[in-house]
Chains A and B, each alone.
Chain A
Amino acid sequence: MSKKYKILVVDDEQDFVDLIRIVLEKASYQVFSASNGEHCLEIVRVEKPDLVVLDLNLPNMDGHEVCRKIREKFSFKDIAVLMLTVRTLEHDFVSGFGCGSDDYMGKPFEPKELLARIKNLLRQAGKLAVE
């Protein structure tokens, strides 16, 4: 992996942010983090990350809204969005796609699955060559 991809992790729970950061940094990604929607949009604007790992459950502005705001300015090719939600059988899950997120994953997560999904999204966005 020659280029360091920028990934923004958004979650109001520091434990999750930390774990994802550990997992992603170990896999040689450059990791930014935010704990709320406003902060997230700020970093998106400044850093233009390749991918955002976005928790659905955020204070003030929820994941759907943040995602919609991102999509207003950036396409999937610019920034991919991986949505994190607490349950795999919740209906908000499916509607996550309606707001323009590109994939979703349940919480708690398997680090391996997270990496696999991120890789897949980057590949789909054309940022990663097919191995």
Chain B
Amino acid sequence: MSIKLKIILLINIAFCLAIIFISYTSIKFFRQSLEQSFISNNVNVIKDIARLGKQAISLGEYEELNNAIAVLRSLDSAIYYVAILDAQGKVIAHTDKAMINKILPSKSVFGVFHDSLEIIKLEISDDLKAKDQFFVNMENGLKLYTFTYQSTLKGERIAFIRMGFLDDVIVLRMNKTHDIFTRNLAYKIFYVLIAIVLFSIYISIIFTRYINVFSKALKLLGDGKFGTKITVASKDEIGSLSADFNKMATRLREIDYLKEEFISNVTHELRSPLGAIESYLNYMIDEDLENMIDKDEKLTVKGINLSERHEYLNRMRSNTRRLRKFINNLLDVSKIESGNIHLDKKMVNIFNLVAEVKDLFYMQAKHKSIEMKIIVEESAGYIYIDEDKIKQLLTNLVNNAIKFTGKGGEITIILSALFHAEDRTKNFMHSIQIAVVDTGIGLEEKNLEQIFDKFEQVKNKGPIQDNFDKGTGLGLAVAKGIVEAHGGKIWVQSIFGKGSTFYFTLPSVIIE
């Protein structure tokens, strides 16, 4: 998971937890305050009734009181009943007319607490004394919120008021308000969430911007572009990090340059003396050959006869040649790696080039009785390439093919042109493809890519020929460099034990 995503997720999770907590507590608090306000509202109503009750008792006239509570009930559907008793426990007013004038046993009046479900402590006003209670109880099978209130006159209880509210209606009513509240809250949370998401993205961008800058630069560095610099104009840790990075990049470039220079100096210095040695050996071998034809082979110079000498000189020469080839390849690779490969392009008849390379290997192929042939699938004509380098590349491939193919094998060079479908008629090729097919030892799947790296050779290739050319592991690295400098691609397909096919393409070529 990317750091960007992590930052976004982290911020969002943190804020969501906070929001959940805040909204949970606020909903809970809102619910409580709803209940509180329900109670405090009704306490006021009860007080009004009590005032009316007192008046009615002092006048002995209860008609009006009964009317008042009837009106009250009709106004609020949550009121189940209202009962007012005098000091003796006689019902003087009741929403249920049948109850009027009944004497309720004081126990059932004051003993209401027995069947209460819960007693809610009221701390609403001083007017409400200990016995004035609000509680939840069951009456006639209904869950009620019940208020009881004692009205006193000069310290003496003169009336007792009891009011029952239907729990269903109250809860429904509270739920309605509650729902409105939560819906509002949800809307607000939604907007806040959007803001948080945007905020977290912004923060993550700020943080990862630098990481991206650095990872891009490091990637370039990894690809060998040692001149890579980072420009961050900030004076914080990131600024100093980028300064250090630049220092490192500069140092790497210096080292790389030194390496290139070292290789090129050393190889140049090696080449001249090697060239001299080989040239002298060439001369001596030639002369000896002539002497061997002219004179006696047994001619001895201090215990070494002429044919032995010839053999030793030849060995010296082949080792010198191997060293020279290695140095040349090394120089090529270092040139390719430093991007100093210079292409001297001109129009070249590709078929002729392929044929020439094939001819170079005539002797070698004959020696191993390998059959070599060229197949032209699509006449490619002239293409615009660096002739010498493409020759070198093809030489490397064919050389490998011969090296890794046993006696009696077959090597085929297939020349084909790849067209853009619509361009076929206009005689314009997209690219040409050359394949070098052999029937040799083949390659294992896992080695197909790495053999193009420098110094990579596959171990245990088995004895294919007697004086096995040890090689340098540079041939394919050079080949790859040359193909890529031309903008082409090189790859290999192989069946282990059956043979390999090396392909390469050269793009943007024009047919004759």
Contact = CB atoms under 8 A, between A and B. Distances in A.
Say whether A and B bind each other: yes
A110 B321 CA distance: 13
B275 A91 contact: no
Nearest to A87: B328
A5 interface: no
Interface string B268-302: 00011111111110110010000000000000000
Contact of B274 (A89, A90, A95, A108): A108
Interface stretch (A11-19, A32-40, A60-68, A69-77): A11-19
Contacts of A109: 279, 282
Interface string A21-38: 011000000000000000
B388 interface: yes
A128 interface: no
Contacts of A112: 286
B236 interface: no
B276 A19 contact: yes
B392 interface: yes
Interface residues of A, number: 21
A22 B283 contact: yes
Contacts, number: 52
A75 B103 CA distance: 151
Interface hub of A19, A89, A108 (most chain B Cβ within 10 A): A108
B389 interface: yes
Interface in B231-281: 271-280
B123 interface: no
A86 B271 contact: yes
Contacts of B324: 108
A110 B283 CA distance: 7
Contacts of B275: 16, 86, 107-108
A19 B342 contact: no
B386 A16 contact: no
A91 B280 contact: no
Contact of B388 (A16, A89, A111): A89
A110 B282 contact: yes
Nearest to B343: A91
Nearest to B278: A108
B422 interface: no
A13 B269 CA distance: 12
A75 B286 CA distance: 34
A93 B389 CA distance: 12
A13 B277 CA distance: 12
A19 B278 contact: no
Nearest to B317: A108
Given A89-B388, A108-B324, A94 B272 contact: no
Nearest to A12: B272
B205 to A, nearest CB: 49
B344 interface: yes
Given A19-B283, A94-B344, A111-B283, A13 B388 contact: no
B388 A108 contact: no
Contacts of A111: 279, 282-283, 286
Contacts of B344: 91, 94-95
B283 A23 contact: yes
A93 B286 contact: no
Interface string A92-117: 01110000000000011111100000
Contacts of A87: 328
Contact of A19 (B280, B389, B392): B280
B225 to A, nearest CB: 25
Interface of B: 271-280, 282-283, 286, 324, 328, 342, 344, 386, 388-389, 391-392
19 contacts: A13-B276, A15-B273, A15-B276, A16-B276, A19-B276, A19-B279, A19-B283, A87-B328, A88-B388, A89-B391, A91-B344, A91-B388, A94-B344, A95-B344, A108-B278, A109-B282, A110-B282, A110-B286, A112-B286
Interface of A: 13, 15-16, 19, 22-23, 86-91, 93-95, 107-112
Given A15-B276, A91-B344, 13 more contacts: A15-B273, A19-B283, A23-B283, A87-B328, A89-B328, A89-B388, A89-B391, A91-B342, A91-B386, A91-B388, A94-B344, A107-B275, A111-B286
Going nearest first, the 7 A-B pairs with the smallest beta carbon separation are A108-B278, A15-B276, A108-B279, A108-B275, A91-B344, A107-B275, A111-B283
